[in-house]
Amino acid sequence: MPTRHLSIKALLFVTVCLLAGCGHSDRTLALATGGPAGLYYPFGGAMASLWSEVLPGVNAKAEVTGGSVTNVIQVARQESDLGIAMADVVSSAYAGTGRFPEPLPLRVLFTAYPNIVHLLSLQGSGIRSVSDLAGKRVALGAQGSGTSVAALNMLNGLGLSVDDIAPRYLSFGETTSGLKDGTLDAGFVVGGLGIAAVTELAVTRDIEIIALSDAEIASLTAQFPAYSAYEIPGDTYAGVSESRQALGIWSAVVVHESMPETLAFALTCAVYRDHARLLGISPVVKDMTLANIRQLAAVPLHPGTERYLCNPDATCTAAADALPAQEQAN
Domain boundaries, the chain: 25-114+251-328, 115-250
Q: What is the pairing mode between strands 58-63 and 27-32?
A: parallel
Residue 267, CA atoms < 13 Å, CB-side half-sphere: 31
In the chain, what's the furthest Cα-to-Cα distance?
A: 93
3-state SS assignment for residue 136: coil
**Packing angle of the helix pair 261-273, 303-310 (nearest 10 deg):** 50
Q: Are 248 and 115 within 8 A, CB to CB?
A: yes
**Helices (DSSP H) in 28-160: which residue ranges?**
40-54, 68-76, 87-95, 146-157
Angle value at C-alpha 174, between 169 and 179, nearest 5 degrees: 100
Give pLDDT tens digits along the chain (330 positions).
444 443 434 333 333 333 333 434 578 999 999 988 788 999 999 999 999 999 998 999 999 998 999 999 999 999 999 999 999 999 999 999 988 999 999 999 999 999 999 999 999 999 999 999 999 999 999 987 889 999 999 999 999 999 999 999 999 999 999 999 999 999 999 988 888 899 999 999 999 999 999 999 999 999 998 899 999 999 999 999 999 999 999 999 999 999 999 999 999 999 999 888 888 877 778 889 999 999 988 999 999 999 999 988 888 875 656 555 444 433
Which residues have CB under 8 Å from 319's CB, separation 6+? 262, 265, 266, 269
CA–CA separation, 199 and 164 (whole Å): 29
pTM: predicted TM-score of the whole model, two decimal places: 0.79
**Domain 25-114+251-328 identical in fold to domain 115-250:** yes
- Hey, how many other C-beta atoms are within 10 angstroms of the C-beta on 93? 27
Q: Are 272 and 265 within 8 A, CB to CB?
A: no
- Hey, how many other C-beta atoms are within 10 angstroms of the C-beta on 210? 20
Q: Quick one: 122 exposed, middle or buried, by C-beta within 10 A (0-12, 13-18, 19+)?
A: middle
Q: What is the CATH number of domain 115-250?
A: 3.40.190.10
- Domain 25-114+251-328 matching CATH 1.20.1250.20: the answer reads no
Residues 245-264 as b/e (b if ≥16 CB within 10 A, e otherwise) read: ebbbbbbbbbbbeebbbbbb
Which residues have CB under 8 Å from 193's CB, separation 6+? 116, 232, 233, 236, 282, 283, 284
pLDDT of residue 279: 85
CA–CA separation, 291 and 306 (whole Å): 13
Q: Which residues pair with 109 in a beta bridge?
A: none
Backbone phi, psi, residue 221, to 5°: -70, -25
